[in-house]
């Protein structure tokens, strides 16, 4: 595996690989790899000839006061884990390479960016869309892999790739979880032991929703209430939102039908955690 620091060099490598008929897979990340990241890389390695992982803690998606300075980093461990997962190139640019002083352009996916996490984090998805647009140009891969864990990000990237004709296929990878259900996240490291235990309430509340849906419940208010009950039983977990919406356009639903996303965000100690499940409703006969 080769580490690349310069955008122009990275792009040349990918263009050459494609000219040779290779399929290139892209996995954008902010590093501090856990099993979730590795699953994206392994899937890309199975499905593509060459895998490019990008590692860039993108400053423009953090608001002032968020955890940019504290965001966990461990380059040496990331390098060896990526290599073991079958990655061909690790693109790890410095901030100056991505955002030179004269940088002035942004990409914003309207509508999808202002709901759910976008309410608590205005500007966040503009930062995400802009950096991913740059990465799609620096790494002109045929396929790009994103985690289902970040469901709203996935919906936004799909919309951006479609609207701006990036010609890259977006593939979603299921959320990887700890044994007790907690979705893996680089930010779980912020949790104190009692908070770590309480944090399982996010998954438990979604599992409760799943149970209700499996037993035929289709009323969003009933499901929302059940989620709220599980979360409020944990005083260390402060619920920010629960969204029950369509999985593509994120439009709120009162009755569940079609492909439904149930997503939530909560603050637990220093960490802001998100989780979700997607349900395919069977068409009524």
Q: Is 186 in the site for ligand AMP (CB under 6 A)?
A: yes
Other CB atoms within 10 Å distance of the CB of residue 98: 19
- How many residues lie near ligand AMP (CB under 6 A)? 17
The C-alpha atoms of residue 193 and residue 175 are separated, in whole angstroms, by 22
Contact between residue 86 and residue 45 where contact means Cβ atoms under 8 Å apart:
yes
- Residues with catalytic annotation? 37
DSSP string, 109-132: -TTTTTSTHHHHSTTHHHHHHHHH
Q: Which stretch binds ligand AMP (CB under 6 A): 65-73, 76-84, 104-112, 170-178?
A: 170-178
- Give the one residue of 90, 107, 173, 230 binding ligand AMP; rule: CB under 6 A: 173
The C-alpha atoms of residue 15 and residue 1 are separated, in whole angstroms, by 17
The C-alpha atoms of residue 151 and residue 170 are separated, in whole angstroms, by 13
CB of 206 to ligand AMP, least distance (A): 13
The C-alpha atoms of residue 17 and residue 24 are separated, in whole angstroms, by 8
CB of 283 to ligand AMP, least distance (A): 29
Contacts of 190 (CB under 8 A, 6+ apart): 67, 269, 270, 271
Other CB atoms within 10 Å distance of the CB of residue 269: 17
Q: Is 185 in the site for ligand AMP (CB under 6 A)?
A: yes
Q: Is 201 in the site for ligand AMP (CB under 6 A)?
A: no
The C-alpha atoms of residue 128 and residue 154 are separated, in whole angstroms, by 11
Q: Is 150 in the site for ligand AMP (CB under 6 A)?
A: yes
CB of 149 to ligand AMP, least distance (A): 4
Of the CA atoms within 13 Å of residue 102, those in its CB half-sphere come to 0
Q: Is 62 in the site for ligand AMP (CB under 6 A)?
A: no
Q: Is 243 in the site for ligand AMP (CB under 6 A)?
A: no
Q: Is 140 in the site for ligand AMP (CB under 6 A)?
A: no
- Give the one residue of 113, 130, 175, 200 binding ligand AMP; rule: CB under 6 A: 175
Q: Which is nearer to ligand AMP, 183 or 230 (CB)?
A: 183
CB of 170 to ligand AMP, least distance (A): 10
Contact between residue 48 and residue 89 where contact means Cβ atoms under 8 Å apart:
no
Q: Is 184 in the site for ligand AMP (CB under 6 A)?
A: yes
Of 19-48, binders to ligand AMP (CB under 6 A) are 29-30, 36-37, 39-40
Q: Is 183 in the site for ligand AMP (CB under 6 A)?
A: yes
Query: Locate tokens 């263009």: which residue?
Result: 15
Q: Is 131 in the site for ligand AMP (CB under 6 A)?
A: no
- The SS3 of residue 243 is strand
CB of 142 to ligand AMP, least distance (A): 17
The strand pair at 271-280 and 259-268 is best described as: antiparallel
Chain position whose Cβ is nearest to ligand AMP: 147
Instruction: Please report, as ranges, the residues that interact with ligand AMP according to CB under 6 A.
Output: 29-30, 36-37, 39-40, 146-147, 149-150, 173, 175-176, 183-186
């Amino acid at each position: 595996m080769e580490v690349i620091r310069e955008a122009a060099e990275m792009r040349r490598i990918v263009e050459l690989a494609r000219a040779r008929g290779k399929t290139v897979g892209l996995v954008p990340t902010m590093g501090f790899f856990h099993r979730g990241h590795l699953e994206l890389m392994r899937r890309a390695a199975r499905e593509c000839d060459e895998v490019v992982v990008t590692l860039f803690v993108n400053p423009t998606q953090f608001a002032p006061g968020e955890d940019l300075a504290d965001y966990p980093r461990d380059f040496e461990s990331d390098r060896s884990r990526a290599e073991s997962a079958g990655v061909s190139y690790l693109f790890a640019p410095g901030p100056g390479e991505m955002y030179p002083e004269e940088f002035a352009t942004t990409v914003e996916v309207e509508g999808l960016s202002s709901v759910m996490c976008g309410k608590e984090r205005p500007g966040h998805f503009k930062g995400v869309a802009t950096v991913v647009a740059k990465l799609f140009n620096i790494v002109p891969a045929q396929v790009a892999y994103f985690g289902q864990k970040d469901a709203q990000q996935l919906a936004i990237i799909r919309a951006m790739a479609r609207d701006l004709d990036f010609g890259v296929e977006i593939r979603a990878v299921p959320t990887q979880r700890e044994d007790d259900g907690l979705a893996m996240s680089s930010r779980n490291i912020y949790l104190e032991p009692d908070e770590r235990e309480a944090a399982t309430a996010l998954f438990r509340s979604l599992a409760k929703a799943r149970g209700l849906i499996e037993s035929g419940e289709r009323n969003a208010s009933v499901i929302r209430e059940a989620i709220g009950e599980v979360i409020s039983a944990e005083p260390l977990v402060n619920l920010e939102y629960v969204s029950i919406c369509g999985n593509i356009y994120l439009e709120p639903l009162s009755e569940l039908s079609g492909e439904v996303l149930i997503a939530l965000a909560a603050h637990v100690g220093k960490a802001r955690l998100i989780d979700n499940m997607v349900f395919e409703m069977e068409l009524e006969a």
